[in-house]
Chain A
Amino acid sequence: MIFDRSTACSSGIVKLDDPADAQTIVGAEDVNLKANAVDYVRAASVADAIALLERHGDGAKLIAGGQSLLPALNLRLSAPAILIDIARLTELGGVSPVPGGLRIGAGCTHAQLLADPLVAAHAPLIGRALADVAHPAIRSRGTIGGSLANADPAAELPACALALGASILVRGKEGERRVAADRFFTGLFETSLAPGEVLVGLEVPLAPGAQWGFSELARRSGDYAMVGLAAQRTGGDTRLAFFSVGATAVLARGAAAALAPGVTAATIEAACHQLEADLPSHADLQASAATRLHLARVLLRRVVGAWVAA
Chain B
Amino acid sequence: MTAIRLQVNGEAVAAEVPARLHLADFLREQLGLTGTHLGCEHGVCGACTVRLDGAIVRACLVLAVQADGSVVETIEGLSDSGEIADLQHAFIERNALQCGYCTPGMLIAAQDWLLHAARPDRAAIREHLSGNYCRCTGYEAIVDAVAATWEGRHGR
Contacts and interface: CB of A to CB of B under 8 A. Distances in A.
Interface of A: 2-3, 7, 11-19, 22-28, 31-40, 63, 66-67, 70-71, 73-75, 83, 85, 87, 111, 134-138, 140-141, 220-222
Contact of B62 (A2, A31, A141): A141
Given A22-B14, A71-B41, 12 more contacts: A12-B16, A12-B30, A16-B12, A27-B17, A31-B30, A67-B61, A70-B22, A70-B63, A71-B43, A134-B43, A137-B49, A221-B127
Contact of B5 (A22, A26, A74, A134): A22
A269 B75 CA distance: 53
B18 A27 contact: yes
7 contacts: A15-B12, A28-B29, A34-B22, A40-B65, A70-B63, A140-B52, A221-B130
B25 interface: yes
Contacts of A74: 22, 41-42, 60
* Residue in B17, B49, B52 with the greatest tally of chain A CB atoms within 10 Å: B17
Sorting the interface of chain B by its residue count into under 10, 10 to 19, 20 to 34 or 35 or more gives 35 or more
> Which of B5, B43, B46, B126 has most chain A Cβ within 10 Å?
B43
A221 B124 CA distance: 12
Contacts of B65: 40, 85
A77 to B, nearest CB: 9
Contact of A136 (B31, B62, B131): B131
Interface of A is mostly: loop
Contacts of A138: 43, 57-58, 61, 131
A24 B16 contact: yes
Nearest to A1: B11
Contacts of B85: none
**Chain B interface SS verdict (over half):** mixed
B19 A16 contact: no
A25 B14 contact: yes
B86 interface: no
A70 B32 contact: no
Interface in B44-70: 46, 49, 52, 55-58, 60-63, 65-66
Q: Which one of A18, A35, A75 has the highest number of Cβ atoms from chain B below 10 Å of its Cβ? A: A35
B13 A137 contact: no
10 interchain residue pairs of minimum CB distance: A135-B131, A40-B19, A71-B42, A35-B20, A140-B55, A221-B130, A27-B16, A19-B12, A70-B61, A3-B32
Given A16-B13, A32-B29, A222-B131, A135 B46 contact: yes
B124 to A, nearest CB: 11
Interface in B116-142: 126-128, 130-132
Contacts of A63: 63, 66
Contact of B32 (A7, A17, A39): A7
A25 B132 CA distance: 34
A134 B41 contact: no
B33 interface: yes
B4 to A, nearest CB: 9
A17 B19 CA distance: 25
Contacts of A24: 3, 16
Contacts of A220: 130
A66 B56 contact: no
Contacts of A83: 19, 63
